[in-house]
Amino acid sequence: MTTQNLNGKVALIQGGSRGIGAAIVQRLAAQGAAVAFTYVSSAAKAEALQNSVISAGGQALAIHADSADANAIRNAVNATVEAFGRLDILVNNAGVLAVGPLEDFTLEDFDQTLAINVRSVFIATQEATRHMGEGGRIINIGSTNAERMPFAGGGPYAMSKAALVGLTKGLARDLGPRGITINNVQPGPVDTDMNPANSEFAESLIGFMAVGRYGHVEEVASFVAYLVGPEAGYITGASLTIDGGFSA
């Protein structure tokens, strides 16, 4: 049985309509939090997720916001506070994966990778912490690829996720005196629509995992739920890997 240890808390998940983000929305709502989440293109999935949480007795708000747009991010934070009266938890899950040979990799893809995977995290954190008080929690969803990139073409992606390691450490110093923690969760390969466990690509990666399988979105969501809960107040500035031994 899931504990209701987030009753009275309000969470915003950047990129929450599908995959890991949707699992985090569902888990935090199940633990009692009112949950807002952003989406870009998956309007039907976002509406279905919002309705699912509400039907189960929870509070949810789907917000259309492009994480490459600074104003859209700020508006999403403010819409969350307007809807639920406060903000206690921010999960920066929005991300893009552009992979390609070095000689063909475009500057447009490079810039978008930085804009969504790194800049949006900074903007959302900057805006959200204007509303957070003692006990605030921020989680950045990084990647095990910050530590290990076992195939060609993923340099810019790995770089963007490695940047979150330093950003998380630095922001922990800014936010610690205010009683706000910030941590970086680094999943390995996880079974989602974008990266299914039964694909040819997955077969090439499974051999890297010590446990010999892809992760499940619920496993990442439960890890995040612990870190945003009341028992994790002494964890901050950390990059915590959940990758089945991919980087071992």
Distance CA 70, CA 97 (A): 20
What pLDDT, on a 0 to 100 scale, did the predictor assign at position 42? 85
Point out which residues pair with 141 in neighbouring strands: 185
φ/ψ (deg, to 5) at 79:
-65, -35
pLDDT digits (tens, 9 = 90+) for 61-102: 999 999 999 999 999 999 999 999 999 999 999 999 999 999
Return the pLDDT at 145.
97
Q: Specify which residues 137 forms β-bridges with.
A: 89, 181
Q: Given the structure tokens 């076992």, which residue do they identify?
A: 150
Over residues 225-246, the mean pLDDT reads 98
Pairing of strands 60-64, 239-242: unpaired
Structure tokens at 95: 């991300």
Which of 49-58, 62-71, 191-200, 222-231 shows the lowest mean pLDDT across its residues? 191-200
Q: Is 157 a residue of the active site?
A: yes
Q: Domain map of the chain by residue range?
A: 10-242
Q: How confident is the model over 121-158, as pLDDT tens digits? A: 999 999 999 999 999 999 999 999 999 999 999 999 99
Please state, in angstroms and rounded to a whole number, the distance separating the CA atoms of residues 246 and 248: 6
Q: Does the pLDDT at position 179 exceed 90?
A: yes
What mean pLDDT comes out for the span 187-207? Answer: 92
- pLDDT tens, residue by residue, 213-226: 999 999 999 999 99
pLDDT tens for 16-39 read: 999 999 999 999 999 999 999 999
Residue 1 has pLDDT above 80, yes or no: no
| Pair 72, 66: CB distance under 8 Å | yes
By C-alpha distance, which of 73, 71, 72, 63 is closest to 37? 63
pTM of the model: 0.97
Question: Which CATH architecture describes the domain 10-242?
Answer: 3-Layer(aba) Sandwich (3.40)
Helix and strand numbers (H, E) in the chain are 8, 7
Of 157, 214, 226, 234, which residue is the catalytic one? Answer: 157
| C-beta neighbour count of 108 within 10 angstroms | 9
Give mean pLDDT, residues 164-172: 98
Burial class (CB in 10 A: 0-12, 13-18, 19+), 204: exposed
Q: Which two tokens stand for residue 108?
A: 């447009």
Please give the sequence-ordered ranges of beta strands (E in DSSP) within 152-215, or none if there are none.
Answer: 181-187
